[in-house]
Amino acid sequence: MLKKLVLFDIDGTLLTVSKINRKVLVDALTEVYGTPGSAETHNFCGKMDSVIIYEVLQSAGLGEGEIGEKFERVKACYIELFRQHARASDVCLMEGIGKLLHELSGRREVMVGLLTGNFEASGRHKLLLPEINHYFPFGAFADDAPSRNELPAVAVEKARQLTGKTFTEHDIIIIGDTEHDISCARVLNAKSIAVATGNFSTEELKKHHPHVLYENLGRTDVVVNEILYSSII
Ligand SMILES: [Mg+2]
């Protein structure tokens, strides 16, 4: 019987993408707005793609209205450039991810999904390149809500539509590499598993009080056990 809903972040958690991601965003912004804003140096970690676009352009002095007018164009341009230029060699899976996803896919009590700041089309392409996209029947993406903390409820609703089951707080696990993923778990009172495979160390992540903290997701049996059996109450 289906018991647990596990929601994975993408960048820094499942995989890492080479500089191509930033490069195509810079190119898309330049093509549509005539400036990349601060995209060459801006901190993207744990942020929604949509929020990043607003932040980098606002730092170059553009107003919200001006950005909003061409937002759909820049989004389409970024996605198209990313699909065109990103190759399998640009994506590196984090330690243990292939094995963990394979193991979870064999468990009938677990439903796996995505909770990510990526736009769906570019996020799916990141997963297709290392051939892990098929593990994720659904997800909540930057397209689904204006802020990341609204995504957990979207994910729960999409899971309900697919399975007929409404997952409640104690059945939901959110796995990610930044404080933003921990905060998403807090929104639902769900269990947060933080992992230091992105840009933040275990010491930095500890300050945000995740329920569980790992260096990486390499110990499949430990992680699966935590997902299936360990309660936060
Ligand atoms: Mg991340």
Nearest to 43 by CA among 230, 202, 200, 228: 200
How many angstroms separate the alpha carbon of residue 177 from the centre of ligand 1? 5
Segment 74-112, tens digit of pLDDT: 999 999 999 999 999 999 999 999 999 999 999 999 999
pLDDT score of 25 more than 90: yes
In the chain, the domains with their CATH numbers are 4-17+90-229 (3.40.50.1000), 20-87 (1.10.150.240)
Nearest to 216 by CA among 231, 232, 198: 198
- pLDDT of 233 reads 55
How many angstroms separate the alpha carbon of residue 3 from the centre of ligand 1? 25
How many angstroms separate the alpha carbon of residue 67 from the centre of ligand 1? 25
Please check whether residue 151 is in contact with residue 145, taking contact to mean a CB–CB distance below 8 angstroms. Answer: yes
Distant-in-sequence contacts of 63-70, Cβ < 8 A, 24+ apart: 67/33, 70/32, 70/33
How many angstroms separate the alpha carbon of residue 213 from the centre of ligand 1? 14
Place of tokens 């590196």: 92
Confidence of residue 191 (pLDDT cuts 50, 70, 90): very high
Segment 129-143, tens digit of pLDDT: 999 999 999 999 999
Segment 144-182, tens digit of pLDDT: 999 999 999 999 999 999 999 999 988 999 999 999 999
How many angstroms separate the alpha carbon of residue 121 from the centre of ligand 1? 17
